[in-house]
Each structure stands twice: as structure tokens, then as C-alpha cells.
Amino acid sequence: DAGITQSPRHKVTETGTPVTLRCHQTENHRYMYWYRQDPGHGLRLIHYSYGVKDTDKGEVSDGYSVSRSKTEDFLLTLESATSSQTSVYFCAIWGGYSNQPQHFGDGTRLSIL
Amino acid sequence: GQQVMQIPQYQHVQEGEDFTTYCNSSTTLSNIQWYKQRPGGHPVFLIQLVKSGEVKKQKRLTFQFGEAKKNSSLHITATQTTDVGTYFCAGLGTNAGKSTFGDGTTLTVKP
């Protein structure tokens, strides 16, 4: 498997608290993604990055922010978590060539009470 | 924006029966990729299709890309219990950095 590590793997927190999820890669891939996965909705793109300090919004970006200060790290922040953000979050990486697949991390299960 | 629809959402089959999931894009795709996610796991890449009308096989799995490069299918012959999971298609459109995932088809196989 590609070198992708998500942390934490599980988190329970309360509404209104800030939460940061980390994605770390050892593949030196240019692109990194954050998805959320909810029953009946498949994988929905939150934000993605196409280089250090270069990020763009996905289809469900409201309530989330991201940062990428180094090639290997992509952080997802929920400034003030809400119960609707309870989900499984996946990070993915892509080398940037059309014949390459995305490689996914193991996911973070986030519960907001 | 680009939309990718995938049907059916769920499929329950008896072991040994065939299974097919279909993917349709609102726009022409550069390529389409298929992923499998086992229960509790993360999506894992299966295959990529690039050419119009392309057909690829992996043992009991057959993947097709439509002539117009707007639809694709995955067919599994004689399902086994190891085939259980959710199958996703992901289409790469004009934005080279973003693929759009279908909502997935969850396959359950009864022994």
C-alpha cells in the first residue's frame, strides 16, 4: 500500500469544538484530497491540494478549512464542529498522471456529539 | 459541474449469480477508474479505462467503457463471498486534478 497515514483514526468530540485531522504521505505526490463518506452518499470531496499552499474547494467544503505547508502533510480543520460533520474522513493522494490511481488512507472515524 | 451516477445502490445476490453495476457521467470523461471498498476498509484501486469502447478483464471481473466515454460498467461472473463490498467508479473530466466518484454499489453475497 502507498505510504499514507491518517491521524487520529478515531475521535469523539463535542459540538462547537475545533478538530484537526492530519494526513501524512511518504510518496511525494503532488495532489492530496480530503473526502467524507456517509451512508448513501459515497465519497464526497471536501477540499484538495495541488501543491504546497495550493488548495481548492470540493463539493462539500462549507465548515471545513485545509492547509498544506509541506508536500507530505495535508490538514483538515473543522473550526467549530457540528453533529452534521459526523462521518468517516478519507485522505487520498495522486501523483498527477492520468494513468495513476488515487491511493487512500485508512480513514478517520469522527463522531461529534 | 460534472456528475457521476451509479446504479444500483445495493445488490443482494446468491453466491454463484452474476452482478453488474453501471456508471453514467453527465459529461465526457478522460478516463474512468473503478475501486472496491471492503466493509470497514478504504477504497482500493481495481482498474482504469481510457479508450472509447475499451473492455478489460480481471479474472471474473469485466470492465467496459462506453463508446461515448460517458458510461461504464463492472460485471462480476459467478460471485463469491469474497466479492462483498462497495464498488465505486470515479470519472476524470476536464479538471485534471479532480475525479468525481459515483455513490457506489454495495454488493452482498449470500452463501
Q: Is the pLDDT of residue A2 over 80?
A: no
The confidence score (pLDDT) of residue B99 equals 85
Residues of chain A positioned with their CB less than 8 A from the CB of B45: 101-103
The confidence score (pLDDT) of residue B2 equals 77
The confidence score (pLDDT) of residue B96 equals 66
Does B10 contact chain A (CB < 8 Å)? Answer: no
The confidence score (pLDDT) of residue A54 equals 94
The torsion angles phi and psi of B58, rounded to 5 degrees, stand at: -130, 95
- Measured distance CA(B17)–CA(B12) in Å, rounded: 10
Percent of chain A with pLDDT over 90: 87
Does A99 contact chain B (CB < 8 Å)? Answer: yes
**A24 with A4: CB under 8 angstroms?**
yes
**How far is CA B59 from its chain centroid?**
15
Percent of chain A with pLDDT over 70: 98
- Measured distance CA(A63)–CA(B69) in Å, rounded: 35
Pick out chain B residues at pLDDT < 70.
Answer: 96
Dump pLDDT digits (tens) for A55-73.
999 989 999 999 999 999 9
Which residue do the cell numbers 459467478 mark?
Answer: B78
Q: Is the pLDDT of residue A99 over 90?
A: no
- Terminal-residue alpha carbon distance, chain B: 41
Indicate the pLDDT class of residue A16, thresholds 50, 70 and 90: very high
Dump pLDDT digits (tens) for A20-69.
999 999 999 999 999 999 987 789 999 999 999 999 999 899 999 999 99
> Which amino acid type is present at position A36?
R
Residues of chain A positioned with their CB less than 8 A from the CB of B50: 98-99
- Measured distance CA(B81)–CA(B108) in Å, rounded: 8
Indicate the pLDDT class of residue A1, thresholds 50, 70 and 90: low
> What Cα–Cα distance (Å) separates residue A14 from each residue in A17, A35, A51, A76?
6, 21, 32, 17
Does A2 contact chain B (CB < 8 Å)? Answer: no
Q: Is the pLDDT of residue A86 over 80?
A: yes
Does A39 contact chain B (CB < 8 Å)? Answer: no
